[in-house]
Amino acid sequence: MDTFVLKPRWVPELDPDFQPAVLWNRAYLDAVADGVPLILALEGEQGRVSRYETVVRPVIDAGTLRYVERLVKFLLWSRGGWRLVVAGPEEIARFLATTYAPGGERAFDAEMMEKSYGRAFTVEPVPFGNVPAEKEGGASVGGHLDGCRIGFDLGASDYKVAAVKDGEVVYSDEFAWDPRPQTDPSYHYDHLNAGLRAAAAHLPSVDAIGGSSAGVIVNNRFMVASLLRNIRPERMEEARGMFDRLRKEWGVPLEVANDGDVTALAGALSLGEHAVLGVAMGSSEAAGYLNPEGRMTGWLSELAFAPVDYNPAAPADEWSGDRGVGALYFSQQAVNKLIPAAGIPVPAEMSLPERLRLVQFLMGQDDPRAAAIYQTIGIYLGYSVAHYAEFYQFNHLLILGRVTTGKGGNIILGTAQKVLADEFPELAARVNVQLPDEKSRRVGQACAAASLPALSGSVVES
């Protein structure tokens, strides 16, 4: 396998072996001589097709297979699909078919695509002339501010609710919970419903409810979600339908979207512009995208599983088993990963949310150990913004979530902006990376989620 000598201008103090995906890919392409074309097409829901075109070396070597495998992995978790069409060298198609087969190195990813789209995942080699034409969908959603609304945002350690009246937040709060180890979906339903009732007490009526959550959500149903990871199989259908049950109980329009998409929506609403990529750094990394036309594309944008570090010795994600993926770079997990290198002692039994709070407290005291953690995440982000720009068209990148709260968020932002200006000046001139204000960082998603449903005229008195 090629081991390119990458020379990033910014080397993370706490992770000196970081290999930015964008630099590795560019080094590979720069080394391609007399390249041959490779076209990848992903078919998703309702015939949606995303295409990606590149070139590879004419003689397929280990470096080429590494390039293609990481590329397909990123495409799957950014755009999503149940069928991968490959036009190019036959050896690449065979390699991908084996890699994404049961028992293959990426069997987890194939299984998640099957769960997301309800169809067996397939890899299909075709001649160039048979690659399906690109067919991207998308819908304009959200931005409804009329009436009395409740918004919620479900995280792994807390959930947030907001009561919104004609676009003005009249109440917001956060509630601790621990959904992932729960086996009974009543836990999730009862906790969320209690939060909705708390918000409703601050409104004269409830006209609509909107929500956001990590995971793959289709037609208000969980398809894949870490929050439901331990639900008993015989009750999974009940868990997936919890939002429909809430809609019937409350008797009002209720819409739920992926928390990353709601992050992007929050950014678009605050900026009054489109072409927004939102990245929420919470218990994991969530991302969402509004394209230049202001539409949600239907892409998965589950960038927690998308590779950003090509260091073969990078730590492995506990769920997927893959190395160098976003969850360990832009989340509480990233903070936890960096704590030992920063030299901050923590008890073994301390939870990830508690560890983040400790680092935030230390940052409030201007502790240089905590600052090094945030600076490292900022370097990760600067290079990853350039990597994301290879796959998304955006002019604004909005970061929020619990990891960005406090002084640390400003360090992450400032460091990322410096990396972009130094390594990628043309991109820095075009893309605005920013944080919302402190209040919006913590409850902004819940407020944006409240704007998802259009009113139907039905009202529930609170």
Diameter of the chain by CA atoms? 69
Question: Are residues 206 and 266 part of one domain?
Answer: no
Q: What is the DSSP string of 351-403?
A: -HHHHHHHHHHHHHTT-HHHHHHHHHHHHHHHHHHHHHTTT---SEEEEESGG
The letter for the amino acid at 305 is F
CA gap 276, 289 in Å, rounded: 6
Question: Are residues 158 and 42 part of one domain?
Answer: no
The reported pLDDT for the residue numbered 444 is 66
Contacts of 167 (CB under 8 A, 6+ apart): 145, 146
Taken in order 101, 103, 109, 113, the sign of the CA dihedral is positive
CA gap 391, 287 in Å, rounded: 13
Q: Which residue bears the tokens 């009436």? A: 147
Question: Are residues 284 and 247 part of one domain?
Answer: no
Question: Are residues 253 and 173 part of one domain?
Answer: yes
**414 confidence band (pLDDT: 50, 70, 90):** very high
Asked whether the predicted pLDDT for residue 69 surpasses 90, the reply is yes
The reported pLDDT for the residue numbered 283 is 84
Q: What is the DSSP string of 398-462?
A: EEESGGGSSHHHHHHHHHHHHHHHHH-HHHHHH-EEE---HHHHHHHHHHHHHTSSPP-S--EE-
Question: Are residues 191 and 119 part of one domain?
Answer: no
CB 85 within 8 A of CB 41: yes
Domain end: 101, 130, 159, which one? 130
Length in residues, the chain = 462
Neighbours of 367 (CB within 10 A): 15
Question: Are residues 352 and 327 part of one domain?
Answer: yes
Q: Does residue 16 form part of some domain?
A: no
222-226, 233-237, 388-392 — most confident range: 388-392
Q: Does residue 139 form part of some domain?
A: no
Question: Are residues 346 and 200 part of one domain?
Answer: no
**456 confidence band (pLDDT: 50, 70, 90):** low
CATH number, domain at 403? 3.30.420.40
122: containing domain: 32-130
| CA proximity to 340, closest of 372, 363, 310, 308 | 372
Q: Which residue bears the tokens 């910014």? A: 10
CA gap 185, 227 in Å, rounded: 10
Q: What is the mean pLDDT of residues 340-358?
A: 96
Contacts of 52 (CB under 8 A, 6+ apart): 39, 40, 41, 71, 75, 391
The reported pLDDT for the residue numbered 443 is 46
**268 confidence band (pLDDT: 50, 70, 90):** confident
Question: What is the number of domains present in the chain?
Answer: 3
CB 189 within 8 A of CB 179: no
CA gap 57, 349 in Å, rounded: 49
Domain end: 210, 240, 258, which one? 258
Q: Does residue 460 form part of some domain?
A: no
CA angle 18, 323, 258 (to 5 degrees): 105
Question: Are residues 153 and 122 part of one domain?
Answer: no
The reported pLDDT for the residue numbered 448 is 85
Question: Are residues 289 and 367 part of one domain?
Answer: yes
Question: Are residues 441 and 295 part of one domain?
Answer: yes
Question: Are residues 414 and 279 part of one domain?
Answer: yes
- Which residues, in sequence order, are bridge partners of residue 85? 41, 124
Domain end: 224, 258, 292, which one? 258
Asked whether the predicted pLDDT for residue 176 surpasses 70, the reply is yes
Question: Are residues 309 and 251 part of one domain?
Answer: no
Q: What is the pTM of this model?
A: 0.85
Asked whether the predicted pLDDT for residue 140 surpasses 70, the reply is no
Express each pLDDT in 5-28 by its tens digit.
899 999 999 999 999 999 999 999
